Amino acid sequence: MEHISVDDPQKVGDPIRSFTLYTVHTRTTSTAYTKSAFSVLRRYSDFLWLYETLAFNNPGVVIPPVPEKNSFGRFEDHFVKQRRMALEKCVQKIANHSVLNKDPDLRLFLESDTFSLDIKHRSAARGGFISSIGQSFTGPRFHETDDWFDRQKSYLDHLESQLRTLVKAIEFVARQRQELAAVAREHIQTLNDLASSDVDKGLATSISSLADVHNKAQELMETQSQQDLITFFSTADEYARVINSVRLAFTSRIRVHHAWRASEAEVTRVKQNHEKNRNQGRIPPDRMGYALNQVADAERRALEAKHEFDHVSKLVKSEMSRFEKERVDDFKDSLHAFLEGMISRQKELIEAWERYQQSLLKRAGVIKPGSAEAGQNGDSAEQHHSHDEEED
């Protein structure tokens, strides 16, 4: 079991070629690692390498996605904060995955102190194929024989459209909250200026207290805007990106299918060559065993390729079920956090208004300072007003 955190984003390099470095901390009980706690420095491209490599190593598995690359505003505080959180969530989900947490390239990413050199050697050994893993697969036309995959592709298209719409809506609401908070700051300044002007001391105190309430409301609006992005937005944006990972898993199945068909074609070629050479008497008796072994090896590889395709097909379906369950759980958790935070902030605002109301009632003499009634809420104040009106 690994616990992973991504912390301490630091801008390094010159103004033209600068980038952000993150410290990746790992605590683990796994014996696959040399230590139980360790830390390494990684940049965004390293996380992207991990994603692409795991996708190549594990066909059929839905790889938790890294946040999208963005060339603009990538050093602004809110962007760095959002990216750090997204990277941490990505790596933690990878480490929690029953298949991915056994991948040696994950251990390389988390442990290696010579990471740049190590991945260069790996890329050279694999012939640069990994860099094209996310691109559209080109090869013989694939004819789907399982309707389940066609249904899921249509479902994913519809779900992605809904999630993209939700992301835009949350961004719009968060931006509106920020604009409202900016207007509130101007209003607060106006109240403070009025309280500082040549007015009655009691009125100045009341106006200053009112400015404090509006200042509290403005702070809560800014906090709510940030929490909109941290809770609901981050989850919606993440799953809009996860859909691309699901599609990549579907594409890897097609890649495995083409490998199977290619191995079957190789069996046909080897058999035809064998029959041709045998009929022409071109196979010496002492080489017959070797020739038959070539045919048997080709048939074995074709059978293994078929089993791999069947395995990946089942794995994709299993991963799709996991994707659906995690999506529901994550949205439930983010919605719960969103509502809990909103309720908590509304309570804070209500309490601020109630305190302001009590201070006004004390100054008006409706509530005597220090009396038990001074601690009552707005309902008690309304009762006092009703009583006074009856006496009048």
Report the predicted TM-score, pTM, of the whole model to 2 decimal places: 0.81
Judge if 95 and 231 occupy the same domain: no
**CATH number for the domain harbouring residue 237:** 1.20.1270.60
- How many structural domains comprise the chain? 2
pLDDT above 90 covers a percentage of the chain that reads 68
Whether residue 379 contacts residue 386, with contact meaning beta carbons closer than 8 Å, is answered with no
Judge if 203 and 263 occupy the same domain: yes
**CATH number for the domain harbouring residue 47:** 3.30.1520.10
Judge if 40 and 174 occupy the same domain: no
Judge if 176 and 288 occupy the same domain: yes
Buried b (16+ CB within 10 A) or exposed e, 180-208: bbeebeeebeebbeebeeeeeeeeeebbe
Q: What is the mean pLDDT of residues 354-369?
A: 84
Judge if 296 and 373 occupy the same domain: yes
Provide the residue range defining the domain that includes 88. Answer: 1-135
- Does pLDDT of 157 surpass 90? yes
> Of the segments 128-132, 185-189, 378-382, which one has the largest average pLDDT value?
185-189
End-to-end CA distance of the chain: 73
Give the pLDDT confidence score for residue 168 in this predicted structure.
93
The verdict on residue 73 lying in a domain is: yes
The residue to which tokens 């309720």 are assigned: 343
- Does pLDDT of 277 surpass 80? yes
Among 78, 100, 135, residue at a domain's last position = 135
Judge if 179 and 300 occupy the same domain: yes
Judge if 177 and 313 occupy the same domain: yes
C-alpha to C-alpha distance for 346 and 296, rounded to whole angstroms: 73
pLDDT tens-place string over residues 214-230: 999 999 999 998 888 88
pLDDT above 70 covers a percentage of the chain that reads 88
Judge if 190 and 109 occupy the same domain: no
Give the pLDDT confidence score for residue 18 in this predicted structure.
85
The verdict on residue 140 lying in a domain is: no
Sorted by sequence, the CB contacts under 8 Å of residue 246 that are 6+ apart come out as 62, 156, 319, 320, 323
The verdict on residue 261 lying in a domain is: yes
